[in-house]
Structure 1
Amino acid sequence: MNGADTAFVLISAALVMLMTPGLAFFYGGMVRVKSALNMLMMSFVSLGIVTVLWVLFGYSLAFGDDAGAGLLGDLGHIGFKGIGPETLTGGKEGIPVFAFALFQLMFAVITPALMSGALADRVKFSAWALFITLWVSVVYFPVAHWVWQADGWLFKLKVIDFAGGTAVHINAGIGALAAVLVVGKRIGFKKDPMRPHSLPLVVLGTGLLWFGWFGFNAGSALAANGTAANMAMNTQVATGAAMLGWLAYERIRHGAFTTLGAASGAVAGLVAITPSGAAVNAFGALLIGVVAGAVCSWAVSLKFRFGFDDSLDVVGVHLVGGVIGTLLVGLLATDGVGGATQLGRQAAGAFSVMAYSFTVSWLLAKLVDKTIGFRATEDDEVGGIDQAFHAETAYDLTGVGAVARSAAPAPQRPAGTPEQAGPDQAGTPQNKKVDV
């Protein structure tokens, strides 16, 4: 066993695990107060559901011996059958299979969580839990086998996807679009303001994602080596460039540099460099980042043009960013790899995953909708799905005004002095509602 590589992969797995709570904060700050907890839970619950499925059959379907045609692994490792603490990957010097399985588990956890942002504010929590159970089983596990297992058909086609541009981001982005088309628009879409309730939470989530993404990308080398170092450097370069690309576009288009734009641009860069970072140099990473930032900033507006309610821009950032990174590696890959042939391979990988994931995701969303119902009731959606599904609220705002008033001493007036005009007489409404 190579101890240094094993330690590196275990640390990388922990970093990728942190990305899911980071994503929860990123998405949670972007929604309104009444659904903040639900948004956190839609990401967080994936840590439980997918972990159990991974042990039962997920690892075997994704990384078991090929069951035929490079489409799916067999069931030879159900419950990690045949794998022990000393079972190693590679040749004489490898890492424990459990270290690799743990690292890949965290990829499987965050992929369906990415989809949750597209459905914010309007789906039943139980329906979401059922949907991601079905989705990772029928969509994610097979696609991971295609892309990363040596017998997978996209692997054999020599499609470059170092850390998940197709299996994670394109897969989640197009799957989210399919689910959105089944579930429908939020009440008040394009009419009511639906601004983020906490941009500080969004920035916190972005920071955790950025931090964890070094494990996501560099850890995919599965060794503490030069490839990991190159991938880590390119991750930073592309992310910074994408942030600037997004900000430049929105300054030209909308006249402002927004905090939400900076956070979204950073995530777009992280997405785009994921498949390509190990195959390009630093200048290639700069170009990928700038293009991803600007194009994704433009792409998020498409939901208003085409009328699909992708609540938190999963399609515009993850699908579009994943496609950009996957295709550009065909043009920018170094060491003689890039060119028309590689671009064709990359396109085949991207669009085959899109076709499969969209079709199956739409069917699964329809199945959930027709059986237990995917959409929350109108009353629950308007009143707030935090209270409806979790019996909690993100912030306890009750009594805040009363506490402040009771802390101040009551004014004393001389005996016989008439009372001053109160708020009603002064024309200020006593029961004015405040939208929080």
Structure 2
Amino acid sequence: MPGGIVGADVAWVLVASALVMLMVPGLALFYGGMVQGKNVLSTLMHSFGALAVVTVVWALWGYSLAFGESHGGLIGGATHLFMRGVGQEAKGTLPHILFFLFQGTFAAITPALISGAYAERLKFSAFLLFTVLWATFVYAPVAHWVWAPDGWLLKLGALDFAGGAVVHLTSGVSALVVALVVGRRRGARQPPHNLTFTLLGAGLLWFGWFGFNAGSALAANELAAVAAANTHLAAAAGAVAWGFVDLVRLKKVTALGAASGLVAGLVGITPAAGFVSPMGALAIGLLAGGVCYGGVLLKEHLRYDDALDVVGVHGVGGALGALLTGVFATVSVNPAGADGVIAGGNWALLGKQALSILAVAAFSALLTFVLLKVVQAVVGLRVDAEAEFDGLDPHVHGERAYHTGISLGGHGMTPREASAPKAREPEKAPLGAGPVMDG
């Protein structure tokens, strides 16, 4: 191998890349279980579509914009367009192409997270165009700010080990804008059609997150071990905290709550995983579980339709985790980091974390709004009322997840199928009827 490349590091980051990629089908199941049966394929396709489309964007120009030669710490240039100069040469202790691959899995899952906000109502053409534009004009610049050697937030001293701001805050804030611009779903909210999917998806996310956080050490070393332990502890603590609030409010611990809580803990620990102690990780997980529970409840008070709680879990959790990194960070875990408020009375770090949150949130919100208006002008945003009522699966993809003669969670037949001989169309429930779900 060329000088500088370490075999153990290569092996670990190869595994970590595969783990992060596995999070995308995990996310598909997590989201897919929470929608109506007539929209499950559409929801799954948002995750798988993002994985395919963003990977191509990343190879052609996204990686260069994120990690190419810096222009004022704001954006990368044309250094690596079409993967120019991305081969087997060393980048740190890894082959450059492996670093490209690992970072590309992060780029792919981030816009897939946003899809939870517009589930059950967005055109597939709008999804594709928005995803390409968002990965180019939002994700790549923010990744450059935070992770490129000359990025302005990295130089400022803001800490983000594995993507609290780059992945979760950008997607959560963008999800809020999408929910407001696209508007609420028509008709009554229906209960999740398959919580078994959602729990299985949450388990895959928990498993894949070891690659997400521990892989961000970019080496098979002590820091990766600490990040892995912190990831596991925070996920468990998040599930416990959410379950406790469930028990107080509802007198029972729900399966959806357990799944949401563990994801909240994972989101909260993401920016801090390689900077805090295990006890700090437990504290972050507990706080994330409780605070994100409140973040999810906000949508009912503010009346925006974030279908799958991207804002409450990823937006709130990403911001909270970034702030708490400034509280719990310690150089005893990572000398390349900084002592936070507890370890060193370093309130300046907390200020830098807050500034990074404000900058990333404002940029993501503004650019997302502009991109949505572009998409709306080019292809439109929403499916029509008939498609939304009958289901996106048959109207958008020409397929159905379930062929049972009846639709799970809603009407799954197209008008042509409904008018066929011997076929009876189920009675349509009046709009506004049916249970309203927080999830």
C-alpha distance in 1 between matches for 2:375 and 2:133: 9
Output one character per residue of 1:309-363: Cα deviation in whole Å (capped at 9) or x when no partner: 0000000000000011100011111236102110001001111000000000011
Name the aligned partner's letter for residue 186 of structure 2. I
On the 8 A contact 2:20/2:208 being kept in 1, the answer is yes
C-alpha distance in 1 between matches for 2:226 and 2:12: 15
- The alpha-carbon deviation at position 83 of structure 1 amounts to 2.7
Q: Which of 22, 31, 49 pairs up with 2:26? A: 22
- The alpha-carbon deviation at position 399 of structure 1 amounts to 8.5
The aligned counterpart of 2:125 is 126
Q: Look up the SS of the partner of 1:392 in the other structure.
A: coil
Identical pairs, percent: 51
Q: Look up the SS of the partner of 2:76 in the other structure.
A: coil
C-alpha distance in 2 between matches for 1:9 and 1:432: 52
On the 8 A contact 2:86/2:100 being kept in 1, the answer is no
The aligned counterpart of 2:301 is 305
C-alpha distance in 2 between matches for 1:280 and 1:30: 33
C-alpha distance in 1 between matches for 2:79 and 2:28: 34
Q: Which of 8, 31, 38 pairs up with 2:42? A: 38
The aligned counterpart of 1:81 is 84
The aligned counterpart of 2:64 is 60
The aligned counterpart of 2:413 is none
C-alpha distance in 2 between matches for 1:125 and 1:372: 10
The aligned counterpart of 1:194 is 190
1:383 lines up with 2:387 in the alignment: no
Higher radius of gyration, 1 or 2: 1
Q: Which of 321, 327, 343 pairs up with 1:325? A: 321
Name the aligned partner's letter for residue 234 of structure 1. N
The aligned counterpart of 1:421 is none
Structure 2 unaligned spans of 5+: 332-337, 341-345, 408-423, 435-439
1:373 lines up with 2:380 in the alignment: yes
Q: Which of 5, 20, 26 pairs up with 2:9? A: 5
The aligned counterpart of 1:155 is 154
- The alpha-carbon deviation at position 181 of structure 1 amounts to 1.1
**Number of equivalent positions:** 399
For 1:232-381, list aligned pairs within 5 A.
Answer: 232-335=228-331, 337-338=339-340, 339-381=346-388
Name the aligned partner's letter for residue 19 of structure 2. L
Name the aligned partner's letter for residue 402 of structure 2. Y
C-alpha distance in 1 between matches for 2:210 and 2:110: 16
TM value normalised by structure 2: 0.89
Q: Look up the SS of the partner of 1:358 in the other structure.
A: helix
- The alpha-carbon deviation at position 370 of structure 1 amounts to 2.2
- The alpha-carbon deviation at position 298 of structure 1 amounts to 1.3
On the 8 A contact 2:295/2:316 being kept in 1, the answer is yes
- The alpha-carbon deviation at position 145 of structure 1 amounts to 0.3
Q: Look up the SS of the partner of 1:300 in the other structure.
A: helix
C-alpha distance in 2 between matches for 1:126 and 1:134: 12
The aligned counterpart of 2:335 is none
The aligned counterpart of 1:404 is none
